[in-house]
Structure 1
Amino acid sequence: MGKRANGEGSVYKQRNGLWAASLTTEDGKRKYFYGKTRKEASDKLTKALNDRKDGALVATPKQTLEQFLRDWLEHSQKQSVRERTFERYEEIVRLHVIPVLGRHQLQKLSPQHLQAFYTKKLQEGLSPTTVTTIHNVLHKALDTAFKWGLVNKNVSKLVSPPRRERFEGHPLTLDQIQTLLEVAKGHSMEALLKLALATGMRRGELMGLKWQDIDFSSGVLQVRRVLTRIPSKLEGKGYKESEPKTRKSRRSITVASFALDALKQHRKKQLAIKMKAGASWQEHDYVFCTSIGTNLNPSRDMLDPLKELLESAGLPDIRFHDLRHSTATLLFSFGVHPKVVQELLGHSQISMTLDVYSHMLPSLQADATSRLNDALSFLEDESEETDI
């Protein structure tokens, strides 16, 4: 060990250049904190001492990854992320990380441990995308461990997760969309399908849409909320209203007239259903709801009817989310600027829009080249006449 800094007590500089601080935990073990500067190590020590004074636990060198991850989920993530996100984190930690890495001491976790873990998961049949998601959760957790002074580096930063598979979705073509809407005429899903295809709205946004959000005179609707599932491990059940995930997700959308007309007809039918339901009706103002006014079940009331319509139309089986991809793909094929597509879809950054739909760029470039050729081909004719 290097020489202790004067007046710093348990803060000292190591031979490797890092500064270290230590304290004795209640079980008599030494707990170490590291930093690139004396102040950084000292600040971590001060925080640990304050936490201990306030009753918080200070990790020992033998704290396992499992112990840390359970603390991280309970004290760092449970109140700071969406319930569905928390449930996903908890499942990843419980089903994948703890069985393989949980016994390792947090401070002795190495990049080799993580790399071998990722390889094992790939060999077990998990997709590269799933393994990358596991890596992202570990990266976030170990970042917190570093900020808390439990480790001197985030070892996940030294590991390369597998490359994500690019999923391009299965958008419908214009002809297929027209066929689907023809088959859906008069169906309870007609207005929902038309609005989904006219706006590219997400499933949760459609489920959370209320009549108060639509201004029929201007033809504009506001995306103000989403319906999200309440995780089964948390209190309550079913779905709840919540804010859109990002600022860009809260947006105004000008709705095409064919979809507005469908919504007007849908409202008339809904009022008749409401009258028939009588006292059983539960008023939530949802545009798309059950026969008693409650929110739709995405599988039973949205995906299953969509699959039936697709089968009746002789169209390929797609996910509900592929309707959103269909809208975006169609807009790009019409030459709509990516910025406009981004704002319509509610992507937080245009880079996300370009990344998701980058597979379309070659065909769009070919079309642009063809149009450019048609526009400027007269130059060749003039050149030939000049040569004569």
Structure 2
Amino acid sequence: MARTKKQKKNEKGEGTFRQRSNGTFEYRIVYTDEYNETKRKSFYGQSDIICMEKAEKFLYDLEKKKSGIDIDATIPDIAKEKAKSDFDKNYTHEQGYSRNLYTISIIEKSAIGKTPIAELSETHIDLFFRTLTRYSNSTIVKVYRQIRIAFRIAHDKGIIPKDFMQSGNMKCPKSDKANKKVTALTKEEQKQFVEYLENYTAPKGRNEYKLQLLISLYSGMRMGEVNALKPENIDFKAGVIKVRSTVSRGADDKSFIKNGTKTYTGIRDIPIMDSLKTVLKTALEQQSDNPYDLLFYDAKNNKIITTSQVNCFFQRVCKKCNIEFRGQHALRHTFATRCIEADVPPVVLKTWLGHTDIHITLDTYADVFNSMHNSSISKLGDYINNLDKVS
């Protein structure tokens, strides 16, 4: 390309300028890249000032790369690195790590997941938030949290000059769907449900999950905890089930037995009442040899039984019994409801259910506690009357 002016160094001696035949300018510099290799690069513009500004931005971004900051990092890139770091440091375990990766995958599939975070604006994020309303509120909150984390890290590392996610305008969206409220089986439904299971026999070659459902119904255990039970966890002498582990799903999407439970208070002892004792004895009698010495095992497919497997069976049972399907967790709620109806104190129920806080128990079963007000008033009245008679 022909030159109209002689090539000259700029005042700082950082590169050379030349004006091209079309009147635009070229600014050529020599620099050392992040791999310590010497390279040359040209910048073009309508004036020498524009060329200089482009070069300065390039060198500024290059310095970030040299210091380990990826200026082209996306939200998923940053979020994945944080999730992996937390997993490696044991802040989260395999199940939590797997959940984080699933949440990040939702962002990854979107337009903002493919764009460097430094190029995103409030409008980009706002438009993405509008697409989230089709998900449940619990999923939306997780996605929102991952985005906030990514922006905070990007700001701390200097990838972005301002974290606009801290703005009051960037609120977490809400779902179009109503929050699902898991309700317990009524006494009539429970009776019908138990009668059906007692008379049920699985077709030849198929797994039978009725004992797991009955254990959950009579103990309030989460299904992951039920499927992780071993004979050593059943202590008939002490009259308790020792809940010490659960079935979790790892980052590779495979199930494994996790030592420990969903929460730290999940490690607990649950009393064995007579109906539960009968089910546990049957389970021990029917236990088959397996690599993990589990009470329940999918011998046909040589794998750990998952909650989803049992849940599919539970759905079929509900249909047969003409009971509204509310998810297998309804059995845990049924156990809690029967406990409240039997006047089991909330603090005791909290321990049996493995809740981390008494407020979780009170809030989750507020409707059931409220329904017991009338009987409680009657009991209080009888108690006061007896006191008056004694005096």
The answer on 1:343 being equivalent to 2:351 is: yes
TM-score of the superposed pair, with normalisation by structure 2: 0.68
Kindly provide the CA deviation profile for residues 326-374 of structure 1, in whole angstroms up to 9, marking residues without a partner as x.
1122222333222222211112222322332334343234543454456
- In structure 2, distance between residues paired with 1:256 and 1:149: 60
1:259 CA displacement:
0.7
The answer on 1:173 being equivalent to 2:186 is: yes
Percent of aligned positions that are identical:
22
1:228 CA displacement:
1.5
Aligned residues: 321
User: SS at the partner of 1:160?
Assistant: coil
Structure 1 gap segments, 5+ residues each = 1-23, 33-47, 275-280, 381-388
1:146 CA displacement:
5.1
Cα gap change, 1:93/1:230 in structure 2, threshold over 3 Å: closer, same or farther?
closer
Bigger mean CA deviation after superposition, 96-105 or 215-224: 96-105
2:278 match? 261
Whether the 8 Å CA contact 2:192–2:321 is kept in 1: the answer is yes
2:245 match? 225
Q: Paired residue for 2:262, among 242, 245, 251?
A: 245
Counterparts of 1:119-130 in structure 2, within 5 Å, are: 119-122=130-133, 125-130=134-139
Cα gap change, 1:93/1:259 in structure 2, threshold over 3 Å: closer, same or farther?
same
Cα gap change, 1:150/1:75 in structure 2, threshold over 3 Å: closer, same or farther?
farther
**Cα RMSD for the two superposed structures:** 3.7
- In structure 1, distance between residues paired with 2:361 and 2:281: 31
User: SS at the partner of 1:87?
Assistant: helix
1:41 match? none
Counterparts of 1:179-328 in structure 2, within 5 Å, are: 179-185=192-198, 187=200, 188-231=208-251, 234=252, 238-243=254-259, 244-270=261-287, 274=288, 281-291=289-299, 294-300=303-309, 302-328=310-336
- In structure 1, distance between residues paired with 2:145 and 2:387: 54
Question: Aligned AA for 2:135?
Answer: L
Whether the 8 Å CA contact 2:219–2:276 is kept in 1: the answer is no
1:150 CA displacement:
4.8
- In structure 2, distance between residues paired with 1:146 and 1:334: 55
2:112 match? 101
Whether the 8 Å CA contact 2:212–2:223 is kept in 1: the answer is no
1:205 CA displacement:
0.6
- In structure 1, distance between residues paired with 2:122 and 2:186: 46
- In structure 2, distance between residues paired with 1:71 and 1:189: 39
Question: Aligned AA for 1:288?
Answer: F
Whether the 8 Å CA contact 1:173–1:330 is kept in 2: the answer is no
Counterparts of 1:28-47 in structure 2, within 5 Å, are: 28-29=59-60
1:252 CA displacement:
1.5
Question: Aligned AA for 1:315?
Answer: I
Q: Where is the helix percentage greater, Structure 1 or Structure 2?
A: 1
Kindly provide the CA deviation profile for residues 208-262 of structure 1, in whole angstroms up to 9, marking residues without a partner as x.
110011111111121111112334xx3xx64211132322111111221221122
Kindly provide the CA deviation profile for residues 238-291 of structure 1, in whole angstroms up to 9, marking residues without a partner as x.
421113232211111122122112211332233xxx4xxxxxx43422112234
User: SS at the partner of 1:290?
Assistant: coil
Cα gap change, 1:332/1:250 in structure 2, threshold over 3 Å: closer, same or farther?
same
Whether the 8 Å CA contact 1:31–1:59 is kept in 2: the answer is no
Cα gap change, 1:214/1:25 in structure 2, threshold over 3 Å: closer, same or farther?
farther
- In structure 1, distance between residues paired with 2:322 and 2:183: 15
- In structure 1, distance between residues paired with 2:161 and 2:345: 46
1:184 CA displacement:
1.4
Kindly provide the CA deviation profile for residues 168-193 of structure 1, in whole angstroms up to 9, marking residues without a partner as x.
20311222212211221154544323
User: SS at the partner of 1:184?
Assistant: helix
2:128 match? 117
Whether the 8 Å CA contact 2:241–2:271 is kept in 1: the answer is yes
1:65 match? 75
Question: Aligned AA for 2:232?
Answer: Q
1:204 CA displacement:
0.8
User: SS at the partner of 1:282?
Assistant: coil
- In structure 2, distance between residues paired with 1:153 and 1:90: 26
- In structure 1, distance between residues paired with 2:77 and 2:306: 37
User: SS at the partner of 2:241?
Assistant: strand
TM-score of the superposed pair, with normalisation by structure 1: 0.69
Whether the 8 Å CA contact 1:129–1:163 is kept in 2: the answer is no
Q: Paired residue for 1:137, among 143, 146, 154?
A: 146
Cα gap change, 1:347/1:119 in structure 2, threshold over 3 Å: closer, same or farther?
same
Question: Aligned AA for 2:59?
Answer: G
Cα gap change, 1:206/1:290 in structure 2, threshold over 3 Å: closer, same or farther?
same
Cα gap change, 1:91/1:267 in structure 2, threshold over 3 Å: closer, same or farther?
closer
- In structure 1, distance between residues paired with 2:349 and 2:188: 21
